């Protein structure tokens, strides 16, 4: 019996890494399905060895965290990757993904790529007053290596999930950090300014004393079990202001005595953040209305 960690799952096979040992291709015991348990990439497991390179997953250890989409377990932090230019930042997509991470109570590091492009430094400077008070914010360039050492330090000793829209440079960052990783990179479509999807499944990669995982599908927000009043909890700046609102249950749209709206009107809250909040709130309301009609 040996303790290991699932680093990849493909077509019912689980690839398990145990320190100092080659990766084993494993099957899970049928009892897991009977118990409604599904091994995930990132799970710590107990396996029995079969021959030199295969094994059977006998036990699943308790998880510290779990992502539903994509299905990954035991993540310490999310590295949210967006490009400063090519493609340009879409603030609603950025804030929506931050909200998704906040909803799952995971630590967040914001990484902005393509800092070497002309004008990217000005874009980055405009982002600092909005996001730096809430999260670590790092500018990077895989072309010049700028910011890569600081990013590597943030990854040390942790299991980090890379998330972001396609084409922003997640896979390029992974290849810069781990040159031997078999990660496909995508190109930007000139017509749509959006990236082509490359990563097809979640997989852990080794980095020094930590792990990295690309997370395909992370941008797909699930509205299950979401109430409109919950949305404000996932916007730290808005949640802080909301504590001062005159009425409990204020949705911060047009209510009297709303400190969020007051801050927005007086430039005390970034326009993009407030607009993102209203748009996500509207999406949640629309989803609930369709569900119950």
Q: Tens digit of pLDDT for each residue in 25-59?
A: 999 988 888 888 889 999 999 999 998 899 999 99
pLDDT at 217: 62
User: How many angstroms separate the CA atoms of 281 and 21, rounded?
Assistant: 49
Whole-number Cα distances in Å, 37 to 30, 31, 32, 43, 59:
10, 8, 5, 12, 10
In eight-state DSSP terms, residue 41 is: B
Which element (helix H / strand E) includes 240?
A: helix 236-242
Query: Which tens digit of pLDDT belongs to each residue from 132-150?
Result: 999 999 999 999 999 999 9
Torsion angle, CA of 98/104/105/109, rounded to 10 degrees?
A: -40
Choosing among 1.10.40.50, 3.10.20.30, 3.40.50.1100, 2.40.50.140, the CATH entry for 228-291 is: 1.10.40.50
Query: Which tens digit of pLDDT belongs to each residue from 167-181?
Result: 888 888 888 898 876
pLDDT at 293: 65
| Domain made up of 67-214: CATH architecture | 3-Layer(aba) Sandwich (3.40)
Choosing among 1.10.3720.10, 2.40.50.140, 3.90.320.10, 3.40.50.620, the CATH entry for 2-62 is: 2.40.50.140
Which residue, among 107, 233, 207, has the nearest Cα to 148 in the 3D structure?
Answer: 207
pLDDT at 189: 33
pTM for this predicted structure: 0.85
User: How many angstroms separate the CA atoms of 289 and 268, rounded?
Assistant: 32
């Amino acid at each position: 019996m040996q303790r290991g960690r699932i680093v990849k799952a493909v077509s019912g096979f689980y690839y398990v890494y145990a320190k100092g040992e080659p990766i084993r291709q494993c099957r899970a015991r049928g009892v897991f399905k009977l118990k409604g348990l599904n091994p995930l990439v990132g799970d710590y497991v107990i396996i029995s060895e079969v021959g030199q390179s295969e094994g059977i997953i006998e036990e699943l250890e308790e998880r510290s965290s779990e992502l539903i989409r994509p299905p990954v377990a035991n993540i310490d932090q999310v590295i949210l990757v967006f490009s400063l230019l090519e493609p340009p930042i879409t603030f609603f997509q950025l804030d929506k993904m931050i909200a998704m991470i906040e909803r799952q109570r995971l630590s967040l590091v914001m990484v902005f790529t393509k800092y070497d492009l002309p004008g990217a430094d000005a874009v980055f400077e405009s982002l600092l007053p909005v996001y730096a008070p809430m999260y670590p914010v790092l500018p990077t360039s895989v072309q010049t290596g700028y910011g890569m050492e600081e990013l590597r330090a943030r990854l040390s000793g942790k299991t980090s999930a890379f998330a972001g829209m396609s084409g922003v440079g997640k896979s390029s960052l992974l290849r810069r950090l781990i040159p031997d990783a078999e990660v496909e990179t995508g190109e930007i479509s000139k017509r749509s300014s959006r990236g082509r999807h490359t990563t097809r499944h979640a997989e852990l990669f080794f980095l020094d004393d930590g792990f990295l995982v690309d997370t395909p599908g992370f941008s797909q927000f699930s509205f299950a079990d979401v109430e409109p009043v919950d949305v404000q909890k996932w916007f730290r700046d808005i949640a802080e202001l909301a504590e001062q609102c005159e009425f409990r249950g204020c949705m911060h749209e047009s209510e009297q005595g709303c400190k969020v709206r007051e801050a927005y009107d007086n430039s005390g809250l970034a326009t993009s953040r407030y607009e993102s909040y209203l748009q996500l709130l509207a999406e949640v309301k629309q989803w609930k209305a369709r569900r119950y009609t």
